[in-house]
């Protein structure tokens, strides 16, 4: 059940999610690093959505990937939505 004030992005990307994850996972080496994961996510997104991604787009995709990974690693994910901790909130409000 969705929480108040949350948006479910999966209805829009549902058909793309499983094949995308499968492709990313299949591209990872046997013992992947976080950088390997970010690289493969970046490669997949570029191959599917950006035929010639600029450096700026590549950096933005990587930034989103690292933010999502940090949210999971730092237990900042609540009901599928990244939350900000007390140290991050002042930066968010800028």
pLDDT in tens, 11-58: 777 778 788 889 999 999 999 998 998 899 888 888 888 878 788 888
Residue with token string 């730092």:
74
Of residues 72 and 50, more confidence is placed in: 50
pTM over 0.75: no
Flag whether pLDDT at 90 surpasses 70: no
Given this model, what pLDDT does residue 28 score?
A: 93
In the chain, what are the domain boundaries? Answer: 11-92
The token pair at 16 is 């793309």
Decide: 61 and 42 in contact? Cβ < 8 Å. Answer: yes
- Residue 78: helix, strand or coil by DSSP? strand
Q: Could you give the residue ranges of the DSSP H alpha helices within 1-94?
A: 10-27, 34-49, 55-73, 89-92
How far is it, in rounded angstroms, from Cα 68 to Cα 86? Answer: 17
């Amino acid at each position: 059940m969705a929480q108040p004030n949350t948006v479910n992005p999966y209805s829009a990307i549902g058909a793309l999610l499983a094949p995308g994850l499968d492709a990313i996972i299949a591209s990872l080496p046997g013992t992947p690093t976080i950088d390997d994961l970010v690289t493969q996510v970046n490669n997949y997104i570029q191959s599917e959505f950006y035929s010639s991604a600029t450096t700026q787009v590549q950096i933005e995709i990587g930034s989103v990937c690292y933010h999502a990974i940090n949210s999971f690693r730092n237990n900042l994910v609540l009901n599928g939505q990244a939350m900000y901790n007390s140290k991050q909130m002042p930066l968010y409000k800028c």
